[in-house]
Amino acid sequence: MNLRQAALGAAALDAGAIVVFSAIGRASHDEGILGANGLGLATTASPFLTGAALGWVIARAWTRPCDWRRTGVIVWASTLVGGMVLRIVYGQGVQVSFVIVAGTVLASFLIGWRVVSGRIATRRGLKG
Protein backbone atom coordinates (compact mmCIF):
# COMPACT_ATOMS: atom_id res chain seq x y z
CA MET A 1 0.00 0.00 0.00
CA ASN A 2 1.39 3.40 -0.88
CA LEU A 3 1.18 6.51 1.29
CA ARG A 4 -1.69 8.02 -0.69
CA GLN A 5 -3.81 4.90 -0.22
CA ALA A 6 -2.93 4.82 3.48
CA ALA A 7 -3.94 8.47 3.88
CA LEU A 8 -7.25 7.96 2.07
CA GLY A 9 -7.98 4.88 4.15
CA ALA A 10 -7.06 6.67 7.38
CA ALA A 11 -9.26 9.65 6.50
CA ALA A 12 -12.15 7.31 5.75
CA LEU A 13 -11.63 5.47 9.05
CA ASP A 14 -11.55 8.74 10.97
CA ALA A 15 -14.69 10.05 9.27
CA GLY A 16 -16.47 6.73 9.74
CA ALA A 17 -15.53 6.63 13.42
CA ILE A 18 -16.90 10.14 13.94
CA VAL A 19 -20.15 9.28 12.16
CA VAL A 20 -20.52 6.12 14.26
CA PHE A 21 -19.83 8.14 17.43
CA SER A 22 -22.49 10.65 16.40
CA ALA A 23 -25.02 7.95 15.51
CA ILE A 24 -24.49 6.19 18.85
CA GLY A 25 -24.96 9.48 20.67
CA ARG A 26 -28.17 10.28 18.82
CA ALA A 27 -29.53 6.79 19.41
CA SER A 28 -28.65 6.88 23.12
CA HIS A 29 -30.71 10.06 23.50
CA ASP A 30 -33.69 8.73 21.51
CA GLU A 31 -33.21 11.43 18.89
CA GLY A 32 -33.31 9.07 15.92
CA ILE A 33 -30.45 8.90 13.46
CA LEU A 34 -31.97 11.34 10.98
CA GLY A 35 -34.05 13.44 13.37
CA ALA A 36 -37.25 15.26 12.51
CA ASN A 37 -35.75 17.23 9.62
CA GLY A 38 -33.70 14.38 8.15
CA LEU A 39 -30.41 16.13 8.90
CA GLY A 40 -29.92 14.96 12.48
CA LEU A 41 -26.83 12.82 11.95
CA ALA A 42 -25.21 15.39 9.67
CA THR A 43 -25.93 18.17 12.17
CA THR A 44 -24.45 16.15 15.02
CA ALA A 45 -21.38 14.90 13.13
CA SER A 46 -20.44 18.06 11.21
CA PRO A 47 -18.71 19.95 14.07
CA PHE A 48 -16.56 16.91 14.84
CA LEU A 49 -15.80 16.20 11.18
CA THR A 50 -14.70 19.82 10.78
CA GLY A 51 -12.49 19.53 13.87
CA ALA A 52 -10.96 16.34 12.49
CA ALA A 53 -10.25 18.01 9.13
CA LEU A 54 -8.47 20.81 10.95
CA GLY A 55 -6.49 18.21 12.91
CA TRP A 56 -5.45 16.54 9.68
CA VAL A 57 -4.04 19.85 8.44
CA ILE A 58 -2.31 20.68 11.75
CA ALA A 59 -0.75 17.19 11.97
CA ARG A 60 -0.05 17.00 8.23
CA ALA A 61 -1.70 13.63 8.69
CA TRP A 62 -1.24 12.60 5.07
CA THR A 63 2.51 12.22 5.79
CA ARG A 64 2.01 9.71 8.66
CA PRO A 65 -1.68 8.82 8.59
CA CYS A 66 -1.41 5.74 10.82
CA ASP A 67 0.98 7.09 13.46
CA TRP A 68 -1.00 7.28 16.67
CA ARG A 69 1.44 9.60 18.42
CA ARG A 70 2.15 12.16 15.72
CA THR A 71 -1.20 12.03 13.98
CA GLY A 72 -3.81 10.26 16.07
CA VAL A 73 -3.40 12.38 19.20
CA ILE A 74 -3.53 15.63 17.23
CA VAL A 75 -6.53 14.55 15.17
CA TRP A 76 -8.31 13.40 18.34
CA ALA A 77 -7.61 16.64 20.23
CA SER A 78 -8.65 18.79 17.30
CA THR A 79 -11.79 16.72 16.76
CA LEU A 80 -12.76 17.07 20.41
CA VAL A 81 -11.88 20.75 20.93
CA GLY A 82 -12.97 21.90 17.49
CA GLY A 83 -16.16 19.88 17.72
CA MET A 84 -17.07 21.34 21.10
CA VAL A 85 -16.29 24.91 20.05
CA LEU A 86 -18.42 24.52 16.93
CA ARG A 87 -21.24 22.94 18.95
CA ILE A 88 -21.24 26.10 21.09
CA VAL A 89 -21.20 28.32 18.00
CA TYR A 90 -24.09 26.33 16.45
CA GLY A 91 -26.07 26.51 19.70
CA GLN A 92 -25.98 22.72 20.18
CA GLY A 93 -24.87 22.85 23.78
CA VAL A 94 -21.91 21.39 25.63
CA GLN A 95 -21.99 19.84 29.09
CA VAL A 96 -18.96 18.66 31.06
CA SER A 97 -20.23 15.07 31.10
CA PHE A 98 -20.59 15.15 27.31
CA VAL A 99 -17.02 16.44 26.88
CA ILE A 100 -15.73 13.60 29.08
CA VAL A 101 -17.70 10.91 27.24
CA ALA A 102 -16.89 12.36 23.81
CA GLY A 103 -13.21 12.65 24.69
CA THR A 104 -13.04 9.06 25.84
CA VAL A 105 -14.98 7.56 22.94
CA LEU A 106 -13.26 9.64 20.28
CA ALA A 107 -9.83 8.79 21.73
CA SER A 108 -10.62 5.08 21.63
CA PHE A 109 -11.88 5.41 18.06
CA LEU A 110 -9.36 7.85 16.51
CA ILE A 111 -6.24 6.77 18.40
CA GLY A 112 -7.32 3.17 18.95
CA TRP A 113 -7.42 2.02 15.36
CA ARG A 114 -3.97 3.53 14.81
CA VAL A 115 -2.52 1.64 17.80
CA VAL A 116 -4.01 -1.63 16.53
CA SER A 117 -2.77 -0.93 13.01
CA GLY A 118 0.75 -0.25 14.28
CA ARG A 119 0.83 -3.47 16.26
CA ILE A 120 -0.35 -5.50 13.28
CA ALA A 121 2.26 -3.83 11.05
CA THR A 122 5.01 -4.53 13.61
CA ARG A 123 4.02 -8.20 13.89
CA ARG A 124 4.10 -8.56 10.13
CA GLY A 125 7.50 -6.90 9.93
CA LEU A 126 6.16 -3.91 8.02
CA LYS A 127 7.25 -1.33 10.53
CA GLY A 128 10.27 -0.41 12.63
- pLDDT in 10s for each residue of the chain, 128 residues: 688 999 999 999 999 999 999 999 988 876 666 665 667 899 999 999 999 999 999 999 999 999 999 999 999 999 999 999 999 999 988 999 999 999 999 999 999 999 999 888 778 776 54
Q: Give the model's pLDDT for residue 35.
A: 63
Q: Give the model's pLDDT for residue 33.
A: 64
Q: Give the model's pLDDT for residue 70.
A: 95
Tell me how far apart the alpha carbons of residues 35 and 55 are, in angstroms, rounded to a whole number. 28
Question: Per-residue pLDDT tens for 76-113?
Answer: 999 999 999 999 999 988 999 999 999 999 999 999 99
Q: Give the model's pLDDT for residue 128.
A: 47
Q: Under a CB-based contact definition with an 8 Å cutoff, are residues 76 and 110 in contact?
A: yes
pTM over 0.85: yes
Q: Give the model's pLDDT for residue 86.
A: 97
Q: Under a CB-based contact definition with an 8 Å cutoff, are residues 25 and 45 in contact?
A: no
Task: State the CB neighbour count (10 A cutoff) for residue 55.
Answer: 24
Tell me how far apart the alpha carbons of residues 127 and 32 are, in angstroms, rounded to a whole number. 42
